[in-house]
Amino acid sequence: MPVNVAQNQIYESYSMLHPDGTLMCHCNFKRAKWYVDRDLATWVDEKQFKLKFEPQGYGKSENPFYMQALENRCVVCGSLDELNKHHVVPYVFRSRFPLAYKESNHHDIVPVCVDCHERYEAHATEFKALLAHQAGANMNTSMTEAFRHNKKVLSARNILQRIKEGNLVDSKGNPAIVPEEKLMVLREKAREELREDVPVSGTQWADSIMDKVMAEEGLFAFVKQWRAHFIEHMKPQYLPQYWSVEHPLEVKGKEASNEVVQ
């Protein structure tokens, strides 16, 4: 049995063979070992194992993306060093995907070097903030829209009250003279109703985004948005062959089309 020498590699590319010898897919050492440990497969050589049972179909053999041995090289700059697993869809969203879709496929996990990763993180954060904004949430502060609104209304009421009581003073301690225009704005604001405030905590902004995604464009469109964003900002030169923004989402071997996911 091979020793797992590829611990720090992103792609381990062990070949799973059908009992008739057909290549079914590539997988990592852990998965290969899982089959062999359960006596469901035997090692053919260092990097290949053959199933002992007749599986349903030929796995992913019809999809050329999974038939290639993927390279451990930064997909952006080509560096072979300091590689990280980069998830094209950030964890904060993947963790909120419906259970059936959580097991994301290898397609959306690519090797990226530390430098490129850091460079992309800044773009990703910006994009998250934009998505949060579009979903009516704010990821940068714990203030909700309602909280900010209420703060302005209460502040206007407070100032008017102080003016009324003669407590609003200028820098010399004299009662402040507030221009009529300003008073009108304050009165208008003070008349607005307070809104119910549900405080945003932690990553609740991501819930808001996912709620919007599931209600509107759907999961597949959301994943494609992230793939396109990565390509647009990083211009990766070393993506594996057949890597594509349009690559279907997969659920345990089944391809989920846009219609199904929505």
Joined tokens for residue 132 = 């949060």
In the bound state with Zn ion, the residue whose beta carbon lies nearer, of 35 and 120, is 120
Tell me the C-alpha distance between 34 and 42, whole Å.
Answer: 11
Give one DSSP letter per residue of 166-226, joined into a string.
T--B-TTSSBP---HHHHHHHHHHHHSPP-------TTHHHHHHHHHHHHTT-HHHHHHHH
In the bound state with Zn ion, the residue whose beta carbon lies nearer, of 142 and 237, is 237
Q: Does 75 bind Zn ion (CB under 5 A)?
A: no
Shortest distance (Å) from residue 115 CB to Zn ion? 6
In this structure, are strands 23-27 and 83-87 parallel, antiparallel, or unpaired?
A: unpaired
Shortest distance (Å) from residue 229 CB to Zn ion? 17
Q: Does 251 bind Zn ion (CB under 5 A)?
A: no
Pick one of 6, 77, 92, 143: the residue that binds Zn ion (CB under 5 A).
77
Cβ count near 184 (within 10 Å): 10
In the bound state with Zn ion, the residue whose beta carbon lies nearer, of 236 and 248, is 236
Q: Does 79 bind Zn ion (CB under 5 A)?
A: yes
In the bound state with Zn ion, the residue whose beta carbon lies nearer, of 74 and 139, is 74
Tell me the C-alpha distance between 107 and 92, whole Å.
Answer: 18
- Tell me the backbone φ, ψ of residue 194, rounded to 5 degrees: -75, 145
Give residues 89-148 in contact with Zn ion (rule: CB under 5 A).
Answer: 113, 116
Pick one of 16, 25, 32, 76: the residue that binds Zn ion (CB under 5 A).
76
Q: Give the number of residues in contact with Zn ion, rule: CB under 5 A.
A: 6
Tell me the C-alpha distance between 15 and 29, whole Å.
Answer: 10
Binding mask 205-234 for Zn ion (x = CB under 5 A): ------------------------------
Tell me the C-alpha distance between 74 and 61, whole Å.
Answer: 25
Sign of the alpha-carbon torsion through 2, 106, 100, 94: positive
Between the CA of residue 53 and those of 32, 39, 128, 162, 179, what are the distances in Å?
Answer: 14, 10, 45, 83, 86
Q: Does 260 bind Zn ion (CB under 5 A)?
A: no
Q: Does 9 bind Zn ion (CB under 5 A)?
A: no
Using the contact rule CB under 5 A, the part of the chain among 73-81, 86-94, 150-158, 229-237 near Zn ion is: 73-81
Shortest distance (Å) from residue 202 CB to Zn ion? 31
- 84: β partners: 112
Using the contact rule CB under 5 A, the part of the chain among 71-79, 83-91, 233-241, 252-260 near Zn ion is: 71-79
Q: Does 74 bind Zn ion (CB under 5 A)?
A: yes
Shortest distance (Å) from residue 113 CB to Zn ion? 3
Q: Which residues in this chain contact Zn ion in the complex, by CB under 5 A?
A: 74, 76-77, 79, 113, 116
